[in-house]
Structure 1
Amino acid sequence: MKVKSFMRVFTMLLVFLMVVSCGGDKKDGDQAAGGTSEGGKKKLRIAIVHAGFLGDKSFNDSANEGIKKAMAEYDIEVKTLESKVPSDWETNVVSMASEGYDLVIGNSSQFQDIIKKHAPEFPNVKFAIIDTVVDEPNVMSVVFAQNEGSFLAGAAAALFTQKTDVPNVNAEKIIGWVGGMDIPVLQDFLTGYKQGATYIDPDTKVLVSFAGTFNDPLKGKELALAQYSQGADIIMNVASNTGNGVLEAAKDSQKYAVGVDINQDDIYPGFILTSMLKRVDVGTYEVIKSVAEDKFKGGEILKMNVANGGIGLTDMSVMKQALGDKFPEDILTTINELTEKIKSGEIKVESYPGFKFE
């Protein structure tokens, strides 16, 4: 009897150890597949779909910074999908919703029609769109007053093109602007840029080019070089990865540029006057936070502008260090004054018709 009892206990102990061993061998990938965290709580699953690629040092990378901040603070699993061609966009959004991700983020205004079409098909999935509005009960939208930031960038460029004591700034009052695709949100950038430039000096000429893509740095460089050859001293890029070509053209031509979305001032120090900050990182983070803290509200619009710090310019410290005594301090002073006037409502920045900050 004692032998039988011992064998029964030994067998039970062996089974128990096998179960514990199997359970303790779970890897991060297994956790993600199971959708549970260490405490047994359902792991929050987030998918973000880009209209282009990470590594653009602009819009997409800014969104990714928000993702990384959220991952550091919340127990979440993140799936990132990049897109080579526009035909990938709808497939990626629908596939993530079909797989039951808790939140699917479309990181571009170009996902507007796609999310509008498919969000009703997945009522239990939360969606978010960055840079435009989709009015559906399970969609949260993040919009930016990029026209306000571009107003400040246009003003800074118009002031800078007058500074003929700065190396390679000519006597002509010509500035440039290179965009990616000709879409409403970029037209809104351009509207503010032109208004800011003419606010400083109505005689300022603005050269405009669209590359037709956000993923072609060579095209961006070609367009920028053409504008420099036409007399532009400084060019703003609003073109994601295409815009990296604009910045490179500034360096190669010993001319100047304006960065966009994130701080690009130190990509080519001394050739980028300032960058227009569009806090996509903050918008992306806030959307994920709302889901993680069970405060997501479908139909809500998160608005980011100059007044609340969601839009602005860098402090030009990189350029200041590069130019030394030749740095035109009055540009900073004027930009700070204009910023306060926009905040107070004294300056009303125009929007592109059909694209309103709402």
Structure 2
Amino acid sequence: MKRIISLIAIVGALQSFGQELQFSQFFSSSLYLNPAFSAIYVEPSLFVNYRRPLDNGIIYNETSQISMSLPVLMNEAENLPRGGVGIMAYNNQSGYEGIFKISGIFLNYGHNFSIGRLSTEVIALGVQFGYENYRVNFSDLRWGSSYNPYYGYDDSITTPTSEFDDETNHPIVNAGIMYYYNRQRNFTLYNYSAFSGFAITNLNRPDKTFVKDGKAQAPMLFKYHGGFEFKVRKFNILPNILVQYQSQNFTADGGIYTWYSFHENTFGTGQDIKLVGGAWYRLRDSFIFLAGINYNSLSVKASYDLNSNLFYDYEVDYSRNTFELSLQYVLRKESRVRKISNPLF
């Protein structure tokens, strides 16, 4: 039986494609956040994210992404890379029974420049090229024009599916820049470490319309993210923020990571075990809570978006809580002192 969806609902769903995908664990999906991150990693790293509402039901909103970063151009004197390459892919299903689908694949390159004799500070630049695919089967939809008020939908009535393409592909260019202070996180010499970044998505303004012979350029998405870290005994504390703006749509996340080190593997021997926790507030949207564990090269974190009608207008009767899982694996070289640019990765 064909899905019964009104034209108004379809138009609204297509307009929602102007909104980019969003992860609550934004630093765990770092290449999606900012292409400059590929120049920050000092060891090969794999990242996986999966996100969905707890009550997916027939209305989907399910997102997954996988990325990998590989350091290149090693500086032998500093034992740190000058650049990094990466690959990222993601997939999203949304709408009634997941009828709207988005997928993308990207290649990434980043380069960093050290500042000062001790290379305490670094500036990283990154660029990302890829393709994104939108899919929806319009023949599976029913339209208002085929509705007969006397007995319901009449499939013999011509529907306007010929006016739309079931699939659209578009190239996308993204770019970003980052600044990092005390990237080796040496808290003996320095009281804290800090980072700050800015990224632009849809730099080339790709055409994402389904309408044949139509044109709808995607608006650019601007992102600012930053944070700093300090250490209190076995606790590391990292306040951080993410601000995004796209075509009059504004979101802001602010919160804190903290983790407790049971045993820190500083010199590549023994076990490295940390318990991780965090909480954020997304402006007029949700509270986000996170818990996880780092065990040697593997890190697993789970987060929960607690949404509430309290954040919406009175006309909104229903909101959905969301679960997100992230997995990170770092291919460490145990023979040398571990130099991590960010404890979150």
TM-score (norm 2): 0.28
Q: Which has the higher strand share?
A: 2
Q: Which has the higher helix share?
A: 1
Structure (1 or 2) with the larger CA radius of gyration: 1
TM-score (norm 1): 0.27
Bigger RCO of structures 1 and 2 (CA < 8 A, at least 6 apart): 1
